Chains A and B, each alone.
Chain A
Amino acid sequence: MSFDVTSVGAISVISLDFMVPIAMTAVGEIFAEKAGVVNIGLEGVMLTSAWFAVLIAWTVNDPYLGLIGGMAMGVAFGALHSVISVWLKGDQIISGVGINLFALGFVPFATFAVWHVSGVYPPVSFSFGRIAEISTPWAPLSYFVPMSVVIAILFWYVLYRTKWGFQIRATGENPEAADAVGIDVEKTRIIAVLIGSALAGLAGAYLSIDVVGQITKDISAGRGFIALATVVFSGWNPLVGLLGALVFGYSEGTATWLAGVPEVRSAIPHADYLLGAIPYIATLVVVAVAIGRSRPPKAVGIPYKRE
């Protein structure tokens, strides 16, 4: 097996591709949780948005509109989650479970209803190719990679350096006090959830439109949950979240690369399955090690009821 600069470069390009959806989803979720709303349905949001992005891109033959469609689907789920968890004061965790169950059924169901095929559409990847590429010596790199870095910095700046960000954090830490100083707790939470879900939607659209070029019913592959783990790992800091996404991206990228190495394949039959488990094992280990200093926003998960 040759392990040199070339393979490190190749692994890096794959890994950065895998970093993007986790980074964007995690940053969006940090934003929403800072306002006090947790959404364990991110996996379902990504999956459904990935489907909707393909529907739009396929209908209008434009990948960019597909990406916007995916984001819109993210916002729609954010609205649903807001209605249940903020307006109706419902259980945020159960609402998230509902989103995941719904998505699990909806994507294969709707794929069949619209295109009369099971599980995958289109059968052959889009001819759009990668949306926008930065050339590297190994493989082209998506513009989404620098974009997710910019998003992480932007969200960090908004949360920690602006008045609005302060209001969001106050809403998640101590909604009673925030209310007392005139912050509209419900409105702040709803906006934060909508923005956070939009990012998860964009992450899903990125997977289906840009990376894979088709929708499969398991395209999200647990990334929404890895993003939730990244939120915990990050200590609710978007910049650390980006770092966490990079770690998880590399674990997935390395596993994917190893699965393609002939020596590995001949040494262990069906090694790709064993390697496929690596990102999830890495997530468990990283979170277990890093969790010590991590403290969630105080009011996260608790509906705010005015006395």
Chain B
Amino acid sequence: MKASIPTGTSGLLSSVAESAFAAGVGFLASGILLAVLGKDPIKAFYYLFEGSFGSANNFTITLAYAAPLILTALTFAVGVRAGLFNIGAEGTLYVGATAAVAAGLIHLPFGIGLLFVLIAAGAAGAAWSIPAYLLKSYRGVNEVISTIMMNNIALFAMQFVVLNYLLDPARSDKSASIPVDSRFPTLLPPNLTVAIFFSALVCFGVYYYLWQTPGGYELRAVGLNPEAAKFSGISPRRPMLYAFLLGGITAGLAGAVEVAGTFTPFAIYTGLSNLVNFGFNGIGVALIGRNHPMAIVLAGIFLGALQAGASSVQIAGISFEIVEVIEGMIVFAIAAPQLYRMFRRRLK
């Protein structure tokens, strides 16, 4: 993972170039795949662009998708900074969204209502991340395994909770909706809410914590070199706990953003269908954003654009999941930075 952490300005520049190269590889490879399956790649990419940046309204859809993605990306990025491979954002988002809907059942005045929803989602996310910390810290269980298991547990447990306790009395396909006063205020109807700015603000907060506070310094020190950190008197346990908790909070907030800040009906559909994959896609966002909180804002908008575009790509007979196909290809290219170096040498 060390290769993906930018150091200094020149490192930052080459990171941007590497991500751009990876995106190019991703689009090229997906274009070939589309052609193999008998679809017109040019048309597909046109609709992707049209659906995401083609109009002001489409751009607000892009931002609506970006808002939760930015937050789940933070979960992964904070983990990497602490030397952890936390892929638990997916399940933690379900838990946060469920807590947000539950908190929304209590009608509170404007402002306080949203605050309550956010606190409930963040706290639930933090709590959900504790088992992985305990298993890692006290039993040495690899967090890849524990966080994935927690994802699957959340998938079943939260459906159980929604179906039994949170269902909309009038409809059987969704939970109760979050009341208007507890939602993120709308700036530009129908899709642009304060949520995207909230996500960016959380990014800044995480950035500030990681680089401007002693706790953040310890967290990064443990991530870069746990042995050296130990020698300089930093015990790895506390930074690890904070990394899990912070990751849990951001993923929980992502759940709140998804149900209280983006699209109607401000609820959870049965099968969690409007929640799935936001956590996994956040990993792609973090990798494209090189695990840097501020770059993640841009990477989140990039992937949000793919998702928004994917809705219009369906016109061309291509399903929505083209997003993960392209994203997977991009991640392959990011996994092998050697590929970019070979390409650059060829150019010279």
Residues in B with CB closer than 8 Å to A264 are: none
Q: Bits for B231-250, please: 1 = Cβ < 8 Å to A, else 0.
A: 00000000000000000000
Please, which residue of chain A has its CB at the minimum distance from the CB of B324?
A105
How many A-B pairs have beta carbons closer than 8 Å: the answer is 171
Contact of B141 with A by CB under 8 A:
yes
- On whether the beta carbons of A105 and B327 are closer than 8 Å, the reply is yes
- On whether the beta carbons of B328 and A228 are closer than 8 Å, the reply is no
Q: Bits for A73-110, please: 1 = Cβ < 8 Å to B, else 0.
A: 00000001001110011111111011111111111111
- On whether the beta carbons of B336 and A84 are closer than 8 Å, the reply is yes
- On whether the beta carbons of A280 and B149 are closer than 8 Å, the reply is yes
- On whether the beta carbons of B37 and A40 are closer than 8 Å, the reply is no
Which 4 interchain pairs have the tightest Cβ spacing?
Answer: A105-B324, A102-B328, A90-B336, A98-B331
Contact of B277 with A by CB under 8 A:
yes
Contact of A181 with B by CB under 8 A:
no
Residues in A with CB closer than 8 Å to B329 are: 98, 102
Known: A105-B325, A225-B148, A273-B156. A288 touches B135 (CB 8 A): yes
Q: Bits for A257-300, please: 1 = Cβ < 8 Å to B, else 0.
A: 00000000000011001101100110110011001100000000
- On whether the beta carbons of A88 and B322 are closer than 8 Å, the reply is no
- On whether the beta carbons of B336 and A95 are closer than 8 Å, the reply is yes
Known: A105-B325, A110-B37, A291-B141. A91 touches B4 (CB 8 A): yes
- On whether the beta carbons of B135 and A94 are closer than 8 Å, the reply is no
- On whether the beta carbons of A105 and B328 are closer than 8 Å, the reply is yes
Binding stretch for chain B, among A12-20, A112-120, A154-162, A163-171? A112-120
Contact of B14 with A by CB under 8 A:
no
Residues in A with CB closer than 8 Å to B284 are: 97, 101
**With A and B bound together, what is the CA distance between A39 and B5 in angstroms?**
22
- On whether the beta carbons of A91 and B335 are closer than 8 Å, the reply is yes
Return the contact of A91 from the options B3, B159, B319, B321 (Cβ within 8 A). Answer: B3
Residues in B with CB closer than 8 Å to A11 are: none
Known: A94-B287, A97-B287. A80 touches B332 (CB 8 A): yes
**With A and B bound together, what is the CA distance between A93 and B79 in angstroms?**
14
**With A and B bound together, what is the CA distance between A228 and B153 in angstroms?**
17
- Could you jot down 14 A-B contacts, CB within 8 Å? A94-B331, A97-B331, A98-B332, A101-B283, A102-B325, A112-B321, A114-B37, A274-B156, A274-B160, A284-B131, A284-B135, A287-B135, A287-B141, A291-B140
User: Size band of the A side of the interface?
Assistant: 35 or more
User: Size band of the B side of the interface?
Assistant: 35 or more
Residues of B near any A CB (own CB < 8 A)? 1, 3-4, 37-39, 85, 87, 131, 135, 139-142, 144-146, 148-153, 155-157, 159-160, 163-164, 277, 280-281, 283-284, 287, 317-332, 334-339
Contact of A222 with B by CB under 8 A:
yes
Residues of A near any B CB (own CB < 8 A)? 40, 80, 83-85, 88-95, 97-110, 112-114, 118, 221-222, 225-226, 228-229, 232, 269-270, 273-274, 276-277, 280-281, 283-284, 287-288, 291-292
A117 to chain B, nearest CB (A): 10
Residues in A with CB closer than 8 Å to B325 are: 102, 105-106, 109
Known: A91-B4, A288-B139. A222 touches B332 (CB 8 A): no
Residues in A with CB closer than 8 Å to B159 are: 270, 273
Known: A91-B336, A222-B152. 13 other contacts (CB 8 A): A40-B144, A90-B339, A93-B85, A94-B334, A98-B335, A104-B321, A105-B324, A109-B319, A222-B149, A228-B145, A274-B156, A277-B156, A291-B139
A272 to chain B, nearest CB (A): 9
- On whether the beta carbons of A104 and B163 are closer than 8 Å, the reply is no
